[in-house]
Structure 1
Amino acid sequence: MIQFSHKLSAPKYLLSFLIMAVVLQAGCVRGQLGQNNSAQYRNGMVVCAYPDAAQVGLDVLKKGGNAVDAAVAVQFALAVTLPEAGNIGGGGFMVYRSKNGKTNTLDFREKGPRAANADMYLDSAGNVVPDMSLYTHKASGVPGSVAGMAEAHKKYGKLKWADLVQPAINIALNGFKVTQHLASDLNWAAGKFTKLNPGKSYLLKEGGWKEGDILIQQDLAKTLEQIRDKGCDGFYDGPVADMIVAEMKQGDGLITKDDLKAYRAVWRNAIIGKYKNYKVITMPPPSSGGIALLQLLKSVEPFPLKRYGHNQDSTIRLMVEAERRVYADRSKYLGDPDFYKVPVDSLLRPEYIAARMKSFSWDAATPSTSIQPGSFVGYESDQTTHYSIVDREGNAVSVTTTLNDTFGSKIFVQGAGFLLNNEMDDFSSKPGVPNMYGLIGGKANSIQPGKRMLSSMTPTIVEKDGQLFMVVGTPGGSTIITSVFQTILNVIEFDKSMQQAVSAKRFHSQWLPDEVTIERDGIDSATVKKLESKRYKIVTTRAMGRVDAILKTQWGYYEGGADPRGDDTALGF
């Protein structure tokens, strides 16, 4: 909101207003500039995890492309500039809201290959084989990102497909400047790349990477050229598909030509709920995020969070207790709706949510061991990336995509230059055994051929009074749901700007393990002592999630929040 001093004379007031208007129309803001930057724009905005990709999206909007056009261009640009998470070898979800308020969601989550089976990661004694679902060719599900972008463009796109893929090709061929964050990630992964990719040199640099180095990816450019010229067939058929299958055969993987040809992205009805006078539009299963987010919001809605205060002990205790119950439900009831009847209505019934919170006590923490998934009558990563986009007309998209772990399986497709995902770890390799994020699963998320693995991705759009209010999402594995939850409350309950809401320190609990994780220096020592006195186990972490979000202000401007934890960037015009 723009405020002016009442002491300004009329001419000075007018001059100040005109100057501010010019500033709002012209500039751009980088996420790392600081938590209070809240540049605002009238005509559109892109917030994503890498500056070059954000610029690609903004250029598309300026050329008359809509939010979906920009999303397609950003997705492929991130596949080049953010190899640890941006991808063509992974999958994800899109939540869409038109300028008229019509909603839709697109599921382009990876799928289990036809040769997959429930016991594929178990040894002869029935125990999970360490790292088999993470760093082998068998860790990869059938990729969905290219099919997702093609399907989104087919339904909603305005500009030519080739023109949306070409910017990513240009960046791959000409190279781009490596940031300090990316250099650090590439150097960290170099050992794994070398071990898992004999004979390949992708993303390796003698002496290591440093900020300002130029990264060129010629094989990836050739793959993108196939996608530019042939659409889905340029990836799921032809030379690129042959290279994927050859890589699988070389590494004893499971994905076949038939798996690739059979893959389809799926449109699904959005999960829609209310928090006070806000409408929340979010992703249905096989994302667990949408249901969990609405359960969390309804769990805390009856309580005076604003009075408790941001990151104060009462607020944290309430939110943590809600999170424990919701993640317990997640472990039993959520999976791919094409294979398993997810009890969506039962999980979101207000009476059920209220009953789950009845065991919450201000006297002491509820031990996670005493919390079980709820019951009702009639019922039988960390490396992901997110981008939020709004166009000139007010169409909005919230997109989260993933390879699962940082750089996925760390295995490249020889000749094609892109990384394979390790999303098979998001299935339950064995009921009750945690995955890499410590998440527990059961039969609903067991491995089956053609099935989509459960996800925590939570792309979300929020309305207020029938108008677009917020576009939000984040990477972060199991912390995705709680990061989105906190960001929404930071704005609605704690009156933070979009950038402040995104930059604010976060905390997380997920039922098991029985602990509360907080970002370093996120909670003052007095509050930590209060929580510990109530038997909460507190652990610290360096950073949690990278939220990228857009807020539509009461004046009709778009205000970006680009996460300072990474190279995230907000650009508008």
Structure 2
Amino acid sequence: MKNKILSINNTIILALVVLGACRTGSKTPGVRQSSGVYQYDNEKKTTVQRKSGPYYSDRQAVTGRNGMVASAHPVASRVGVDILKAGGNAVDAAVAVQFALAVVYPGAGNIGGGGFMVFRDKAGQAYTLDFREKGPEKAHKDMYLDSAHNVIPRLSITGHLASGVPGSVAGMVEAHRRFGKLTWAQVLQPAIDLAEKGVALTEREALGLNRTKKSFLQVNPDKRYFMKADTTDWKTGEVLVQKDLAQTLRRIQQEGRAGFYEGETARLLVAEMQRGGGIITEKDLKRYQAVWRDPLVGTFRNYKIITMPPTSSGGVALLQLLRLVEPYPLRLWGWNSDSTVQVMIEAERRVYADRAKFLGDPDFVKVPVNQLIDQDYLKTRWSDFTFARATDSKNVKGGVLPGYESLETTHFSVVDQEGNAVSITTTLNGGYGSRVVVGGAGFLMNNEMDDFSVKPGVPNMFGLIGNQANAIAPGKRMLSSMTPTIVEQDGKLYMVVGTPGGSTIITSVYQTILNVLEHGMTMQQSVNALKFHHQWLPDHTIFENGAFSEETIQKLQARGYKLEQLTNSLGRMDCILLRPDGTLEGASDPRADNTSVGY
């Protein structure tokens, strides 16, 4: 049946392609004229570059045969490789990287946040772990609204009330308990050493701490965490020492889960909440559990996609996006040609509308995952699409399913010598989270409560619209866009992918995968490649400078697409590709301090 549907889809698309070719005056029968930087060369049977400038930079890949770690910070990546060299497996290295990032990358690395893990073992068995934060017991759906039921600005973003119950420590404890090889003490020690001895600040980290100093002082008026003793600005290379955080990490090292969710650390966290009007209690902490969920598995052409199910929306959205564009000849049209971009934008428009309508915590609401990724359903989502003009987002709603009842994060990828692979995305939500530092414990709290639908129809800090499925409730996990993903080819490990980026995570992962599978890029080229993003509402497409040629821009605008060039960048990818010769290609994003280390 599936092959029959695909055959029907391909017939429909071929007809559209031929019509499009006639309309645009393409010289190649059946193929729309490409205006992209890359196009498929029929004679060479490969994707070739038409023009210069498709990349953010010319950074080269890192290779290794025995193991690879790609993370947001060079020190954290080296920690992970050291664990691999000491005999640890990919999960040991991932746990060590997670705690190291909490020290060296305070803007997003964390023990006060949460996230998701996709793990594929050397035998090909896949597992997914949900350690997303939860709403505290005292949370309620109107907690960020005034007496007139209007949203109180920034209440869900800054300060103590913005924090959900953290899940990162529970997630790492559970991952190590089930799959770790080295001792818990061994994988925690590098982070403790970094906190005690200090870490030299990169230029980006120094700038980030300096920009955030005023906000830290406003939220934590009696504290001086992340500031120099003389309160002057940080300079590149200066050493940040975090003694209180080191003590917190030692308690976690010695007591495991209880070292965070009970005892002294829990007491300090709850005291901090009470001091600032937060609502997390000792009971909330003690009750928190990370949850193993069934992996979300799908296919794209001949590749197997292993990704994260809800509470993340990322996996469902990624599979929808890949399946929606699968019938189209993207390789023939070329990388970021007007036709390629058009069908990708239209797929994104429909998928983000579905996200808003259907997705939430599966422990609280019915999430119709299988229906959303069904080929017949996805075919109906194209019913109002035409190459002649852009679809108006006002006319796009979440789809109709029979029987249904109604920007700071970090990612890292690890592959070990045996072929075990880990893809983890973890977050505080906004940069430096809620800006709340737990007094005496030295770590930042998240502002993940903003990822709930604070009020149906009102956008969150990333502009995402939510509905009742993602309404605030005690003990409920807020919806996420995190999309840690592993790709197989012919039953073998092929690619480990992920990125931070709020609502742009899904589309960045989507483009990075397509760049390799459809456009013949290497892993590093795919990461370097310039990106774009559309999320249904607001109804415009943002793009990195140079992502579209002038010809592509003109053609898209003529069809009614609203395009907005960014002054900053999209994504912070950290990916690993297994090459045909058995070497690992580590590809970290040149847009930040991201670094791959292999051996």
For this structure pair, what is the TM-score category when the shorter chain's length is used for normalisation?
over 0.9
Aligned partner (choices 549, 565, 570) of residue 591 of structure 2? 565
The counterpart of 2:197, out of the listed 168, 174, 185, is 174
2:388 equivalent in structure 1: 363
Q: Which amino acid aligns with 1:552?
A: L
> Among 189, 206, 209, which residue is 2:234 paired with?
209
Which letter maps to 1:72?
A: V
Aligned partners of 1:422 and 1:38: how far apart in 2? 34
1:485-540 C-alpha deviation (Å, 9 max, x unpaired): 00000000111111110011000000000000001222222221211111111112
Q: What does residue range 423-434 of structure 1 map to in structure 2 within 5 Å?
A: 423-434=448-459
> 1:36 and 1:411, CA in 2 relative to 1: closer, same or farther beyond 3 A?
closer
CA distance in 2, matches of 1:289, 1:245: 32
Give aligned-pair identity as a percent.
58
Partner SS for 1:404: coil
Change (3 A) 1:33 1:47: farther
Distance 1:326 1:313 in 2: 20
Between the aligned partners of 1:175 and 1:346, the Cα distance in structure 2 is 50
- 2:213 corresponds to: 190
Residue of structure 1 in register with 2:89 after alignment: 66
Normalized against structure 1, the TM-score is what? 0.93
**What is the correspondence of 1:247-286 to structure 2 with a 5 Å cutoff?**
247-286=272-311
In the alignment, structure 1 residue 130 sits paired with structure 2 residue 153: yes
Superposed, which structure 2 residues align to 1:56-455 within 5 Å? 56-205=79-228, 206-380=231-405, 382-455=407-480
1:53 alignment counterpart: 76
Q: Runs of at least 4 residues of structure 1 off by over 3 A?
A: 32-36
2:581 match: 555
Question: What's 1:12 paired with?
Answer: none
SS at match of 2:379: helix
Partner of 2:24: none
Q: Which runs of no fewer than 5 residues in structure 2 stay unpaired?
A: 1-54
TM-score, normalisation: structure 2: 0.89
Q: Tell me by how many angstroms 1:38 deviates.
A: 2.2
Corresponding residue of 2:62: 39
Residues 467-496 of structure 1 deviation map (CA, whole Å, 9 limit, x = unaligned): 000000000000000000000000001111
User: In the aligned structure 2, how far is the partner of 1:432 from the partner of 1:392?
Assistant: 48
Aligned positions, number = 541
By how many angstroms is 1:358 displaced?
2.4
d(CA) in 2 for partners of 1:80, 1:508: 31
In structure 2, give the amino acid aligned to 1:548: D
Supply the AA of the counterpart residue of 1:431: P
- CA contact 2:56–2:530 (8 Å) conserved in 1: no
Q: Which residue of 2 aligns with 1:458?
A: 483
| Structure 1 CA distance for aligned equivalents of residues 401 and 198 of structure 2 | 55
Following TM superposition, by how much is the alpha carbon of 1:207 offset from its aligned partner in structure 2, in angstroms?
2.1
SS of corresponding position for 2:117? strand
**Would you say 1:480 and 2:505 are equivalent positions?**
yes
1-side partners of 2:175 and 2:554: how far apart?
Answer: 49
Shift of 1:33: 12
SS in 2 for 1:259: helix
**Higher alpha-carbon deviation: 54-63 or 521-530:** 521-530
The answer (yes or no) to whether the contact 2:95–2:187 under 8 Å persists in 1 is yes
Q: 1:28: which partner in 2?
A: none
* Contact 2:392 2:539 (8 Å CA) reproduced: yes
Distance (Å, rounded) in 2 between the aligned partners of 1:192 and 1:252: 17
1:489 alignment counterpart: 514
CA distance in 1, matches of 2:484, 2:56: 25
Give the secondary structure class of the aligned counterpart of 1:226: helix
Shift of 1:550: 0.3
Instruction: Kindly report the root-mean-square deviation, in angstroms, between the aligned alpha carbons of the 2 structures.
Output: 1.0
State the SS of the aligned residue for 2:428: strand
**Paired residue for 1:536?**
561
Residue 34 of structure 1, CA deviation: 5.0
Q: Deviations over 1:177-228 (max 9, x none)?
A: 1111111111111110111111100112322112111111111111101101
SS at 2:493's partner residue?
strand
SS in 1 for 2:596: strand
SS of 2:381's equivalent in the other structure is helix
Q: 1:379, CA displacement in angstroms?
A: 1.1
Q: 1:176, 1:249 → 2: CA distance?
A: 31
Unaligned runs of 5+ in 1: 1-31
- SS class of match (1:272): strand
